[in-house]
């Protein structure tokens, strides 16, 4: 017995020592890779990053969100394969697998330390102002002086504005944009006896259509919009802001104050409330799920279980041969209608537009090399391939004119939505306010009255941005 105890003690003690040693080992490892960001190329170690080409390769790490599609990874890999500086540069593809909200938190944490900051980071343009204000990103203006396509108007003007901070400096190269609308399954419309070419003129017409579908096709979910906290920004932008901006109101008033409470907020929430109260929406367990967006676009809509989905153009990326849910007939079975304004008032229909950009963290030690690689990623041929694979709208006007790109189903119509599109506030507080919007929408969906939800939103927003930055209408 005593001997057993001794043995046990010895085993425990050695485990402890080993685990401590392991901790130290991994710690030391991260330090070396981070400090030098250098990988021994031909057996020589200890070369620093500043001396590329003398045996060590310069290492560029690139971070993006892995949302279950390989499109971004393929883009960077393909770009690297065709890169003429491949011999002196090594690419470290380091995706973050996380929900949207967690992605921004992880990136913000990573950008705070030179040990963890990547050299290129994919930033959603709504998060950009906040990260710039925090000093996390590099001002690219200097690097852009000799970037021909940037200066000759190849990039769309509003998207250039989207990555330009209030001081006029540029903090990212936009690589995709999007528009939103009402996608509908024509087979279901036919079965419900509705016209296959559908364009509602008011919110009421959407509800009326839902009613017909519910009566004629009781097994089908009539309407799906992102509604939960777990869907993150999709809930704010694809659902709430598409509604709110359709009432004629925006998130900020003309004096750049956050509107915390108004008739139009209530009107938008009431629309969402009606969808769920009248049984036009999906079950809560589906729509409040973190996978909600994918369930709708990859499973329900192509499977004939969903009639109308309020979603973005990128959704069609799923249906391509290379996509996550190939749907060969999507060109004919799917329809797109513009989202109408609340009562059909001018301009008749609306869309929100956003997008993502490639940025260089402030703490990157390979800014020149990174910028060069970004330019290569955005070069015509490579960018054309990826933007088609991503199923997104291009940020370069010359790509927009490319026949392969322009002939994609729905492309013309969705690009057409861009003129007159609204963009989210370029305000560093947006990234916090948007989370309060998501909470507000989810609480309406799960049974809180729109009035109470708005009251909570008001208190949350006031709390976050300060009472003097909010107004009540």
Among 62, 229, 352, 399, binds another protein (CB under 8 A): 229
Query: Binding to another protein by residue 458, rule CB under 8 A?
Result: no
Query: Binding to another protein by residue 135, rule CB under 8 A?
Result: yes
Burial class of residue 448, CB neighbours in 10 A (0-12, 13-18, 19+):
middle
When the beta carbons of 228 and 323 are compared against another protein, the nearer one is 228
Strand partners, 350: 339
Query: Cα 282 to the chain's mean position, in Å?
Result: 23
Range in contact with another protein (rule: CB under 8 A) among 44-52, 155-163, 277-285, 299-307: 277-285
The dihedral built from the CA positions of residue 319, 320, 325 and 331, taken in this order, carries a sign that is: positive
Contact residues for 376 (Cβ-Cβ < 8 A; gap 6+): 79, 82, 83, 382
The distance between the two most distant Cα atoms of the chain, rounded to a whole number of Å, is 88
> Using CB under 8 A, which residues numbered 48 to 107 contact another protein?
101-102, 104-105
The answer to whether the beta carbons of residues 103 and 356 sit under 8 Å apart is no
When the beta carbons of 128 and 213 are compared against another protein, the nearer one is 128
Among 226, 262, 408, 429, binds another protein (CB under 8 A): 429
| List of E strands, 229-385 | 258-261, 306-312, 334-337, 339-340, 349-350, 352-353, 355-359
Range in contact with another protein (rule: CB under 8 A) among 3-11, 72-80, 352-360, 442-450: 442-450
Structure token pair of residue 419: 């003129």
Range in contact with another protein (rule: CB under 8 A) among 44-52, 134-142, 166-174, 332-340: 134-142
Among 90, 119, 124, 131, binds another protein (CB under 8 A): 131
Find the shortest distance in angstroms from Cβ 124 to another protein.
12
Contact residues for 292 (Cβ-Cβ < 8 A; gap 6+): 226, 227, 228, 230, 231, 286
Show the DSSP H helices in 134-202 as ranges.
141-144, 148-151, 157-162, 186-191
The answer to whether the beta carbons of residues 435 and 230 sit under 8 Å apart is no
Query: Binding to another protein by residue 460, rule CB under 8 A?
Result: yes
Find the shortest distance in angstroms from Cβ 20 to another protein.
11
Among 177, 294, 431, 469, binds another protein (CB under 8 A): 431
Structure token pair of residue 165: 């901070």
Count of residues in contact with another protein, rule CB under 8 A: 40
Query: Binding to another protein by residue 127, rule CB under 8 A?
Result: yes
When the beta carbons of 230 and 418 are compared against another protein, the nearer one is 230
Query: Binding to another protein by residue 279, rule CB under 8 A?
Result: no
Among 64, 83, 126, 136, binds another protein (CB under 8 A): 136
What torsion, rounded to 10 degrees, do the Cα atoms 353, 358, 361, 366 define? -170
When the beta carbons of 99 and 199 are compared against another protein, the nearer one is 99
Find the shortest distance in angstroms from Cβ 395 to another protein.
24
How many residues are there in the chain?
473
Q: What's the start-to-end Cα distance of the chain, in Å? A: 79
Q: Determine which helix (DSSP H) or strand (DSSP E) holds 367, and give its type and residue range.
A: helix 367-377
> Using CB under 8 A, which residues numbered 284 to 343 contact another protein?
284-286, 288, 290
Among 82, 463, 472, 473, binds another protein (CB under 8 A): 463
Q: For another protein, what does the binding mask look like between residues 383 and 422, x meaning CB under 8 A?
A: ----------------------------------------
Separation of alpha carbons 422 and 427, rounded Å:
14
DSSP for 35-59, written as a single string: HH-EEESSS-----TTSTTSSEEEE
Query: Binding to another protein by residue 428, rule CB under 8 A?
Result: yes
Cis status of the peptide bond prior to 347, with omega within 30 of 0: yes
Among 108, 266, 325, 471, binds another protein (CB under 8 A): 108
When the beta carbons of 139 and 187 are compared against another protein, the nearer one is 139
Q: For another protein, what does the binding mask look like between residues 353 and 372, x meaning CB under 8 A?
A: --------------------
Find the shortest distance in angstroms from Cβ 72 to another protein.
22
Separation of alpha carbons 56 and 239, rounded Å:
50
Q: What are phi and psi of 431, to 5 degrees?
A: -65, -20
When the beta carbons of 278 and 291 are compared against another protein, the nearer one is 291
Contact residues for 332 (Cβ-Cβ < 8 A; gap 6+): 186
Range in contact with another protein (rule: CB under 8 A) among 208-216, 348-356, 393-401, 436-444: 436-444
Summarize as ranges the residues that interact with another protein (CB under 8 A).
Answer: 101-102, 104-105, 108-109, 112, 127, 130-131, 133-136, 228-230, 283-286, 288, 290, 428-429, 431-432, 435-436, 442-443, 445-448, 456, 459-460, 463-464
């Amino acid at each position: 017995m005593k001997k057993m105890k001794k043995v046990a003690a010895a085993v425990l003690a050695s485990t402890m020592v080993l685990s401590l040693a392991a901790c130290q080992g991994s710690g030391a490892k991260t330090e070396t890779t981070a400090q030098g960001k250098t990988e021994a190329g031909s057996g020589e170690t200890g070369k620093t990053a500043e001396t590329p080409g003398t045996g060590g390769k310069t290492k560029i790490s690139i971070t993006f969100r892995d949302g279950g599609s390989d499109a971004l990874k393929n883009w960077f890999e393909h770009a690297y394969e065709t890169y003429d500086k491949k011999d002196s540069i090594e690419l470290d593809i380091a995706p973050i697998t996380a929900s949207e909200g967690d992605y921004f938190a992880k990136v913000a944490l990573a950008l705070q330390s030179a040990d963890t900051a990547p050299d290129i980071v994919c930033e959603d343009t709504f998060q950009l102002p906040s990260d710039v204000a925090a000093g996390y990103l590099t001002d690219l203006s200097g690097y852009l002086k000799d970037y021909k396509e940037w200066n000759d108007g190849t990039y769309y003007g509003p998207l250039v504005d989207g990555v330009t901070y209030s001081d006029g400096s540029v903090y990212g190269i936009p690589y995709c944009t999007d528009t939103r609308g009402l996608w509908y399954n024509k087979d279901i419309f036919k079965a419900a006896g509705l016209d296959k070419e559908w364009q509602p003129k008011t919110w009421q017409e959407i509800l009326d259509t839902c009613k017909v579908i519910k009566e004629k096709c009781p097994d089908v979910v009539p309407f799906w919009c992102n509604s939960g906290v777990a869907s993150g920004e999709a809930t704010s932008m694809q659902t709430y802001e598409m509604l709110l901006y359709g009432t004629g109101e925006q998130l900020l008033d003309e004096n750049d104050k956050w509107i915390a409470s108004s008739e139009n907020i209530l009107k938008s929430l009431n629309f969402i409330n009606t969808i769920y109260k009248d049984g036009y929406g999906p079950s809560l367990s589906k729509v409040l799920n973190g996978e909600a967006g994918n369930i709708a676009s990859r499973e329900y809509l192509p499977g004939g279980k969903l009639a109308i989905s309020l979603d973005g153009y990128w959704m069609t990326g799923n249906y391509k041969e290379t996509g996550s849910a190939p749907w060969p007939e999507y060109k004919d079975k799917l329809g797109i209608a513009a989202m109408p304004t609340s009562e059909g008032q001018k301009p008749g229909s609306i869309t929100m537009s956003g997008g993502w950009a490639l940025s260089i963290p402030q703490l990157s030690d390979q800014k020149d090399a990174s910028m060069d690689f970004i330019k290569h990623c955005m070069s015509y041929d490579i960018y054309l391939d990826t933007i088609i694979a991503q199923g997104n709208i291009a940020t370069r006007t010359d790509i927009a004119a490319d026949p392969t790109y322009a002939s994609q189903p729905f492309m013309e119509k969705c690009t057409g939505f861009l003129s007159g599109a609204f963009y989210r506030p370029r305000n560093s507080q947006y990234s916090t306010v948007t989370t309060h919007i998501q909470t507000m929408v989810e609480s309406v969906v799960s049974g809180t009255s729109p009035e109470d939800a708005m009251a909570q939103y008001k208190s949350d927003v006031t709390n976050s941005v300060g009472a003097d930055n909010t107004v009540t209408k």
